[in-house]
A and B are shown apart, each in its own frame.
Chain A
Amino acid sequence: AQSVTQLDSQVPVFEEAPVELRCNYSSSVSVYLFWYVQYPNQGLQLLLKYLSGSTLVESINGFEAEFNKSQTSFHLRKPSVHISDTAEYFCAVSEWNTDKLIFGTGTRLQVFP
Chain B
Amino acid sequence: GAGVSQSPSNKVTEKGKDVELRCDPISGHTALYWYRQSLGQGLEFLIYFQGNSAPDKSGLPSDRFSAERTGGSVSTLTIQRTQQEDSAVYLCASSLGGTWDTQYFGPGTRLTVL
Contacts and interface: CB of A to CB of B under 8 A. Distances in A.
B72 interface: no
Contact of B107 (A43, A51, A92): A43
Contact of A90 (B3, B42, B59): B42
The bracket for how many chain A residues form the interface is: 20 to 34
A46 B102 contact: yes
Given A43-B108, A44-B105, A32 B40 contact: no
Interface residues of B, number: 28
A92 B91 CA distance: 15
Contact of A106 (B35, B42, B56, B102): B42
Nearest to B44: A103
Nearest to B55: A99
Interface of A: 4, 6, 9, 32, 36, 43-46, 49, 51, 90, 92, 94, 96, 98-106
Interface of B: 3-4, 31, 33, 35, 40-45, 48, 50, 56, 58-59, 91, 93, 98-100, 102-108
